[in-house]
Structure 1
Amino acid sequence: MKFSESERRILRALQQNGRTSNVELAQKVGLSESPCFRRVKQLEDTGVISSYAAIVDQRKLGLDVTAFVQVTLDQRSEPDTEAFLRAVELEDNIMECYATSGDYDFLLRVVAKNIDDFADISMRRILKFPGVKNIVSTFSLQTVKLSHVLPT
């Protein structure tokens, strides 16, 4: 999809602050209010802007541990994979899940209160998800970059 420079400016501005009013947004991107509103609405209607959300600091919620969990499934049958994905969707501590190529099938980003909480999540929950053969966990020691702003 090709975007105009105005649409790119709108996307950058809204990714930085989704609560920007239409008046502020129009001023920031150099459009009058009506065309700015129409373009935002079009970006929403076409699914380019899929939702608006508050970005919350996980540590301020007491979630001090971030782990990346490599998951290998026992069998790669469609029913097993679908059952695994349903379990992933239901687990609140799993923030992201990616199907991957390479030595494992999925990569999860998991948050937890502490290492004991993570041990419970991994051993009592993730390892018991349908089809899971093995998991390997790697812990984040420091967040170097965490961005929610996509390049436009």
Structure 2
Amino acid sequence: MHGLDDIDRKIIAAVQSDGRITVNEIAARVGLSASPCARRVRMLEEAGVIKGYTAVIDQKKVGLPISAFASIKLERQREEDLDRFAAAVARWPEVVDCYLMTGQRDYLMRVVVQDLEAYERFLKDKLTRLDGVASIETSFALVQIKRSEVLPL
């Protein structure tokens, strides 16, 4: 759904800044009455533009202060190898982001854990046991400068 108009963009901006905002509050911000605004929100949801609503959790405050960025190279990049890797990653709750990449490495993932020992267990028990993984390079984040789910519309 690339044909977003100004009202759609304003609705998206409103829900990006506050996932708990009411339809009435959105309507007031975008200059619509509640009923047509609710229809637009529903259309954006049905089209998959708005994929869901979630709370942003402070990972340190829930005991998960470590963010590790792992670059993974596979032995082969055949479709079945890529699919097997993606299916495994989807099952691992420690992996909060994972991207298929261009360049020297095939995947870049962010792994969130409680400490270095937990990351070592993740490596030994999961990632290194996956068939087809040729190499893994890990970098650890020292400080998070910015994190956002807000898209620059």
**Alignment TM-score, normalising by the size of structure 2:** 0.94
Cα deviation for residue 130 of structure 1 reads: 2.2
Comparing 66-75 and 79-88, the one that deviates more: 79-88
Cα deviation for residue 53 of structure 1 reads: 1.4
> Counterpart in 2 of 1:58?
59
Comparing 82-91 and 135-144, the one that deviates more: 82-91
Cα deviation for residue 70 of structure 1 reads: 0.2
After superposition, the CA RMSD in angstroms is: 1.1
Is 1:122 equivalent to 2:123 in the alignment? Answer: yes
Cα distance between partner residues in 2 of 1:129 and 1:16: 38
Aligned-residue identity in percent: 37
Amino acid at match of 1:133: A
Which segments of structure 1 move beyond 3 Å, counting only runs of 4 or more?
A: none
> Counterpart in 1 of 2:91?
90
> Counterpart in 1 of 2:78?
77
How many residues are paired up? 152
Which segments of 5 or more consecutive residues in structure 2 lack a partner in the other structure?
A: none
Contact 1:70–1:137, Cα closer than 8 Å, also in 2: yes
> Counterpart in 2 of 1:102?
103
> Counterpart in 2 of 1:37?
38
Cα distance between partner residues in 2 of 1:4 and 1:30: 13
- Deviation string 1:7-66 (CA, Å, 9 cap, x unpaired) is 111100001111111111111222111121111111111111111112211111100100
**Alignment TM-score, normalising by the size of structure 1:** 0.95
User: Any idea what SS the aligned residue of 1:97 has?
Assistant: strand
Amino acid at match of 1:147: S
> Counterpart in 1 of 2:9?
8
Amino acid at match of 2:85: F
User: Any idea what SS the aligned residue of 2:61 has?
Assistant: helix
Cα distance between partner residues in 1 of 2:38 and 2:28: 12
> Counterpart in 2 of 1:27?
28
Which segments of 5 or more consecutive residues in structure 1 lack a partner in the other structure?
A: none
Cα distance between partner residues in 2 of 1:83 and 1:2: 35
Amino acid at match of 2:92: E
